[in-house]
Amino acid sequence: MQMKHSSWLLLSVAFGWALGGPVQAETRRVSLEDCIELSLQRNLDIRIQRLGPEIARFSLGSSLAAYDPEIQLRASRRYSTSPGGVDDQGRKYDGNQEDSTDLSAGLAGIIPTGLSYSLSGSLSDREILSEDPRLPPILGGNAILGNANAFSGITLTQPLLRNFWIDGPRLNIKIARNQLRISKLTLQGQFIDTITSVELAYLELVAARETVKVQEKALQLAEQLWQENQKRVAVGVLAPLDEKQAESQVASTRAALLGARNTVVIRQNALKSLLDDRFVEWHNDQLEPVEDLQAAPRTFSLQDSWSKGVALRPELLQAKTGLESRNLTLEFRKNQLFPQLDVTGSYGRLGNATEMSGALDRIEEGAGPVYSFGAIFRMPLTNRDARNQHRRAKAELEQALLNLKKLEQQVLIQIHDAVSQAQTSYQQVEATKAAVEYAQAALDAEQKKLENGKSTSFQVLQLQRDLTSREFEHIRAKTDFNAALARLAQAEGTTLERRNVYIDWED
């Protein structure tokens, strides 16, 4: 598997982790594209799931081994001596000595049609040394008797009913292929989930940094008001209480700023945990996003999103592939209901001689042809196991269909919720943007009134807090809108296309 992306070189230079080992803490400017690229290379969840297709490919190879022929070789040498004795006429005779050699070879297997074949050949050579006086006189009571046999032939067996259009090996191979596809879809789903998580973490980091800027601005405004109040108290135009209120606002805002900066650290760690498995080596480095929060208008189509989700969601594609496997199992179980009816045939040649070479010559001449043909029929009387296995497969298929329907419904609901959330989030962006503008205008007006002695420090402080709150709400609205777009793409299954990530699968 190979991933194509445009920024891998930028990452290797920017992060400097190719050679491993600790690096000096520094600030690293990163884009969302950079983060996604690194996560696809180093994220632990992806690295774990990337092994899935490889494991499934090994399982498929193991299933294909059912059609690998098996060779068998056998060789033996036997030597025996039988004791002598006395015949009926009172003559003594020595025993016989037998020396035999047996050789055999065979090649057997099956092919995808269910046809089984067996090629075999054998040689047998026996010599008997006899000193039996009962032998004919022409042999002088001593003889070496030799006998050699040779055979070569082929046997074929083809199922006609059970195991004809599908059998165990064919079922296992098809299911293994489906499992390989499921493992690829699982990895694709992990890509989508990881990219979405990285995007959400990146958005939260950007939002945290913008929150710090708002808090710094709020602190600056609070300190400015405090300093002005000190001057007014010094000249006697403002009560000391107003100065204390402004000072309290400064302390409160400074504490909030410290909390916001700590949130940045937490958001950085969350993003780092998704990018690489070597957290200790660069935990002190500061990640500085180069992008800010944008909220460009977008048109949403629920029907279009539904169509994409049904066609692209990895979970649905996995369920449909699993349904194909259930159909295959049902087909196999249906075939097993039939009785076994096999046709079989064989052809071979026999050769006999006193020596092995002679027996082989007879084989070559075809002097002793041997052939046979027939049929084999077998069926259990009740066939209870096959019938119950078939019923079970039908029930499991029906269950898988219902699970698929349920999953499709869940996907449609998720997409509907995601579209609704994205639409609402954009409306909130516009509303909070207007709220910030109104709060800024109100604060500016109140500050002018304070300068003219027509307002109080308390009212200005309250409007400062209101402005800060409205700016926080606007940041959150923009973050939620972009997060809603990421989750909508995840629900549709279009995350990889949206982020220009392409996968080349190695079959």
Average pLDDT, the chain: 85
What is the band of 19 on the pLDDT scale with cuts at 50, 70, 90?
very low
For residues 411-423, average pLDDT? 95
**Per-residue pLDDT band at 15 (split at 50, 70, 90):** very low
Considering only CA atoms, which of 399, 383, 386, 388 is closest in space to residue 326? Answer: 399
Sequence-separated (6 or more) residues with CB below 8 Å from residue 332: 166, 167, 168, 171, 393
What percentage of the chain carries pLDDT values higher than 70?
A: 87
Identify the pLDDT of residue 72.
93
Distance CA 117, CA 152 (A): 14
pLDDT score for 506: 66
CA distances to 382, 409, 489 from 307, rounded to whole Å, are: 49, 13, 13
How does DSSP assign 245-285, residue by residue? HHHHHHHHHHHHHHHHHHHHHHHHHHHHHHH-S-HHHHTTP
State how far the Cα of 144 lies from the Cα of 155, in Å rounded to an integer: 36
Lowest mean pLDDT among 229-243, 248-262, 306-320, 412-426: 229-243
Are the C-beta atoms of 31 and 186 separated by less than 8 Å?
no
The pLDDT tens digits of the residues spanning 81-110 come to 777 666 666 666 666 777 888 889 999 999
* pLDDT greater than 50 at residue 434: yes
**Which pTM was predicted?**
0.81
Give the model's pLDDT for residue 231.
Answer: 72
Distance CA 260, CA 475 (A): 13
Give me the amino acid identity at 213: K
User: What pLDDT shows up at residue 332?
Assistant: 95
Selection from 83, 128, 125 nearest residue 104 by Cα: 125
For the segment 289-295, the average pLDDT, to the nearest whole number, is 88
Does the CA dihedral 290-267-188-53 come out positive or negative? positive
The three state secondary structure string of 451-486 is HCCCCCHHHHHHHHHHHHHHHHHHHHHHHHHHHHHH
Contacts (Cβ under 8 Å, ≥6 apart) of 402: none
Span 334-380, pLDDT tens digits: 999 999 999 999 998 888 877 777 777 777 777 788 899 999 999 99
Q: What is the mean pLDDT of residues 442-467?
A: 82
For residues 274-299, give the mean pLDDT. Answer: 82
Between CA 74 and CA 106 the distance in angstroms is: 9
67 pLDDT higher than 90: yes
H helices of 283-383, in order, are: 302-312, 314-335, 356-365
pLDDT at residue 221, as a whole number = 83
Residue 414: name the closest of 480, 490, 312, 485 by CA. Answer: 490
Q: State the Cα–Cα distance between residues 242 and 248, nearest whole angstrom.
A: 10
pLDDT over threshold 70, residue 499: yes
Q: Scanning the structure block, which residue is given the tokens 């690829």?
A: 184
Contact 218, 253 (CB under 8 A): yes
Beta strands across the sheet bearing 368-378: 70-81, 97-110, 116-130, 143-159, 340-353, 368-378
In whole angstroms, give the CA distance from residue 38 to residue 166.
46
Q: Using alpha carbons only, give the angle 103, 107, 113 rounded to the nearest 5 degrees.
A: 160
pLDDT higher than threshold 50 for residue 409:
yes
Tell me the percentage of the chain whose pLDDT exceeds 90: 50
Query: What gap in Å lies between CA 133 and CA 88, rounded to an integer?
Result: 11
pLDDT at residue 5, as a whole number: 43
Mean local confidence (pLDDT), 41-46: 89
The set of residues, in sequence order, having a beta carbon less than 8 Å from that of 252 and lying 6+ positions away, is none
* Position 481, amino acid: F
Q: What is the DSSP string of 435-452?
A: HHHHHHHHHHHHHHHHHT
pLDDT tens-digit series, residues 485-494: 999 999 999 9
Q: Which residues, including other chains, have CB under 8 Å from residue 12's CB and lie 6 or more apart?
A: 18
CA dist., res. 142 & res. 137, Å (int): 9
pLDDT in tens, 209-254: 999 998 888 888 888 777 776 777 677 656 677 677 777 888 888 8
pLDDT at 386 (0 to 100):
93
Residue scoring higher pLDDT (159 or 359): 159
Cβ atoms of 31 and 291 closer than 8 Å: yes
* Helical axes 457-492 vs 302-312, angle rounded to 10°: 50
Ramachandran quadrant class, 465 (left: phi over 0; alpha: psi -120 to 50; beta: rest): alpha
Query: Is the pLDDT reported for residue 136 higher than 80?
Result: no
Instruction: Over range 323-340, report the average pLDDT.
Output: 95
pLDDT recorded at residue 356: 74
The pLDDT value given to residue 455:
73
Domains of the chain: 2-16+26-42+171-327+390-499 (1.20.1600.10), 72-159+340-378 (no CATH)
